[in-house]
């Protein structure tokens, strides 16, 4: 959020998706009120949630607007970090306008401190912009995978438009036109727009650079390039035909290439349409309808706890921002001496919140940072299975460890709070240095400290050929 006008910063500083810093402090929840969809994407199987913002292969419990409101109030009372309510499926929210807007209408009245957010494929967007603005929806995500109908025809087999099913290039051209028109209308209303794009190798990878340029020129705030997830067991067209997903290094290279043009989101977790909690965690099971019915909630006490949490989180975020601003000013005004030597290094961190706080064997994901002379940059995350699930008889531990090491390819260091001797040995053998010396330290400080130690030890001479992710 460096250099961002104060008015925009105030609108995104507690949104875990629109602000990378905020996602360490604030949580989101989704309510699955929107079953229908008006298009078909080749990466979607309608048995599952909308794959434009969801991890395919999961099914959400469909709620009525009344049930959704009840659930939102219960979650907000239990999780003070919850700042945003999003509707992202299981179909397209704007293909279900009555259910979507009834949910928003009730929540704007009953929980005005919660931000409202929606994600759409964009086909019905232009006709919904007025109503979105009326309900005070300040954040809208449009999934835009292409701006060329020939590319679109490879992603969308059909759309349902004006009571007709339209196929191929013609369908893609209509969808693209609606998405672009919707984007322009939202920007004209002052609504913040995030664009999601699914990176499909060989289909739209190079093309997404043009998409990024265009949506930025039209005023989109943030671009979130997400990897295609295509598994045969999900029964999607791409899954069945063997379309591959991008590797982590391909995703990072494309995000880096687009970054020159606009803010990139790199911390997306491709949530489910009924996700609850901090990004990367899912507490949905605690809030099924029967459990909510049995809850005895003191809403007044909950509001006090929410306000106290918020004040503390905002103060910490502001302190962090000032610290970063000061560091970048020092760098900017330093006399122009030769840049300190040392190549950039990718490091994986088993983090809890904002600190190095997870045992290697307990991590379900690692945050990946790039450390260099001019600071630390978050570049993405890698999902893994828990190597040590607390089950002594787990015979699969070896292969889980192998898969974790494979997922960390390209990283030279892994920071965690603790690590066992076996994984330590195997990581080292794979060229990844485990490090448990910075337990409970703030993540970025720890990563920078390790980079400086490597520099001092003479380990950061340029490599003959840069490390690549597998």
Q: Which does 17 bind (CB under 5 to 8 A by kind): ligand CLF, ligand SF4, none?
A: ligand CLF
Name the binder of 50 from ligand SF4, ligand CLF, none, CB < 5-8 A by kind. ligand SF4
- Select from ligand SF4, ligand CLF, none the partner in contact with residue 306, using the beta carbon and a kind-dependent cut-off of 5 to 8 Å: none
Three-state SS at 349 = strand
| Cβ closest to ligand SF4, residue 126 vs residue 342 | 126
Is 363 strand, coil or helix?
coil
Q: Is 85 helix (H, G, I), strand (E, B) or coil?
A: strand
Q: How far is the CB of 254 from ligand SF4 (least distance, A)?
A: 20
For ligand SF4, the closer CB: 19 or 120: 120
* Closest CB to ligand CLF among residues 19, 417: 19
Q: Which does 84 bind (CB under 5 to 8 A by kind): ligand CLF, ligand SF4, none?
A: ligand CLF
Considering the complex, state which of residue 28 and residue 382 has its C-beta at the smaller distance from ligand CLF. Answer: 28
C-alpha span between 119 and 112 (Å, rounded): 20
In the complex, least distance from residue 275 CB atom to ligand CLF, rounded to whole angstroms? 7
Tokens 């006709």 sit on residue: 127
**Smallest distance from ligand CLF to CB 91, Å:** 14
The answer to whether the beta carbons of residues 1 and 321 sit under 8 Å apart is yes
Specify whether the CB–CB gap between 468 and 249 falls below 8 A.
Answer: yes
Q: Are 37 and 50 in contact (CB under 8 A)?
A: yes
Minimum Å distance from CB 183 to ligand CLF?
Answer: 15
Q: Which residue is nearest to ligand CLF (CB)?
A: 86
Q: Which does 141 bind (CB under 5 to 8 A by kind): ligand SF4, ligand CLF, none?
A: ligand CLF
Bridging pattern class, strands 222-227 and 192-199 = parallel
Question: Rounded to the nearest whole angstrom, what is the least distance from the CB of residue 395 to ligand SF4 in the complex?
Answer: 37
Q: Which residues does 347 contact at the CB level (< 8 Å), separation at least 6?
A: 368, 369, 370, 371, 411, 412, 413, 414, 415, 447, 450, 451
Alpha-helical regions (H) of 218-345:
237-241, 248-259, 289-294, 299-333
Q: How far is the CB of 332 from ligand CLF (least distance, A)?
A: 31
- Binds 117: which of ligand SF4, ligand CLF, none (CB < 5-8 Å by kind): ligand CLF
Distance CA 243, CA 247 (A): 13
In the complex, minimum distance from the CB of residue 269 to ligand SF4, in angstroms, rounded to a whole number: 17
CA–CA distance, 147 with 220 (Å, rounded to integer): 15
Interacting residues toward ligand SF4 by CB under 6 A: 37, 39-41, 44, 50-52, 91-92, 121
Residue closer to ligand SF4 (CB basis): 50 or 195 = 50
CA distance 116 to 143: 18
Q: Which residues contact 201 (CB under 8 A, 6 or more apart)?
A: 228, 243, 244, 245, 246, 250
The entry of ligand SF4, ligand CLF, none near residue 92 (CB within 5 to 8 angstroms by kind) is: ligand SF4
- Least gap, CB of 62 to ligand CLF (angstroms): 17
Q: Which does 270 bind (CB under 5 to 8 A by kind): ligand SF4, ligand CLF, none?
A: ligand CLF
Q: Nearer Cβ to ligand CLF, position 207 or 381? A: 381
94 neighbors 125 (Cβ within 8 angstroms) = yes
Name the site residues for ligand CLF (rule: CB under 6 A). 17, 28, 30, 53, 84, 86, 88, 117, 119, 139, 141, 194, 224, 268-271, 279
Residue with tokens 């309900």: 135
Q: At its nearest, how many Å lie between ligand CLF and the CB of residue 341?
A: 37
């Amino acid at each position: 959020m460096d250099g961002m006008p104060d008015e925009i910063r105030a609108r995104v500083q507690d949104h875990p998706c629109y602000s990378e810093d905020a996602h360490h402090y604030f949580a989101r929840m989704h309510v699955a009120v929107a079953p229908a969809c008006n298009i078909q994407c080749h990466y979607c199987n309608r048995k599952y949630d909308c794959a434009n913002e969801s991890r395919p292969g999961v099914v959400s419990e469909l709620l009525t607007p009344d049930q959704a409101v009840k659930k939102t109030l219960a979650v907000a009372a239990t999780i003070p970090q919850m700042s945003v309510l999003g509707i992202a499926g299981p179909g397209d929210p704007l293909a279900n306008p009555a259910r979507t807007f009834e949910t928003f209408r009730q929540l704007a009245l009953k929980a005005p401190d919660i931000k409202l957010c929606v994600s759409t494929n964009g086909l019905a967007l232009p006709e919904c912009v007025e109503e979105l603005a009326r309900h005070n929806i300040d954040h809208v995500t449009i999934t835009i995978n292409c701006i060329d109908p020939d590319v679109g025809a490879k992603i969308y087999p059909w759309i349902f438009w004006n009571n007709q099913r339209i196929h191929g290039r013609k369908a893609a051209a209509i969808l693209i036109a609606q998405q672009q028109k919707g984007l322009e209308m939202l920007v004209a209303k002052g609504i913040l727009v995030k664009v999601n794009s699914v990176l499909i190798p060989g289909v739209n990878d190079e093309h997404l650079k043009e998409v990024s340029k265009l949506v930025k020129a039209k005023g989109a705030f943030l671009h979130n390039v997400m990897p295609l997830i295509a598994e045969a067991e999900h029964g999607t067209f791409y899954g069945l035909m063997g379309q591959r997903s991008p590797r982590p290094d391909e995703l990072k290279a494309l995000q880096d290439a687009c970054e020159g043009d606009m803010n990139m989101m790199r911390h997306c977790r491709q949530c489910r349409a009924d996700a609850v909690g901090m990004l990367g965690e899912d507490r949905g099971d605690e809030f099924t309808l029967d459990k909510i019915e049995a809850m005895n909630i003191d809403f007044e006490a909950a509001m006090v706890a929410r306000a106290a949490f918020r004040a503390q989180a905002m103060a910490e975020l502001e302190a962090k921002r000032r610290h970063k601003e000061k560091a970048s000013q020092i760098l900017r005004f330093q006399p122009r001496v030769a840049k300190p030597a040392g190549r950039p290094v990718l490091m994986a961190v088993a983090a809890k919140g904002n600190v190095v706080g997870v045992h290697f064997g307990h991590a379900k994901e690692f945050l990946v940072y790039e450390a260099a002379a001019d600071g630390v940059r978050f570049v993405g995350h890698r999902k893994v299975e828990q190597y040590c699930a607390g089950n002594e008889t787990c015979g699969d531990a070896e292969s889980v460890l192998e898969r974790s090491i494979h997922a960390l390819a390209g990283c030279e260091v892994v920071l965690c709070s603790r690590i066992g001797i076996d994984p330590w040995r195997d990581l080292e053998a794979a060229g990844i240095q485990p490090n448990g010396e910075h337990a409970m330290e703030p993540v970025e400080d720890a990563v920078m400290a390790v980079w400086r130690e490597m520099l001092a030890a003479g380990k950061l001479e340029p490599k003959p050929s840069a490390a690549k992710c597998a």
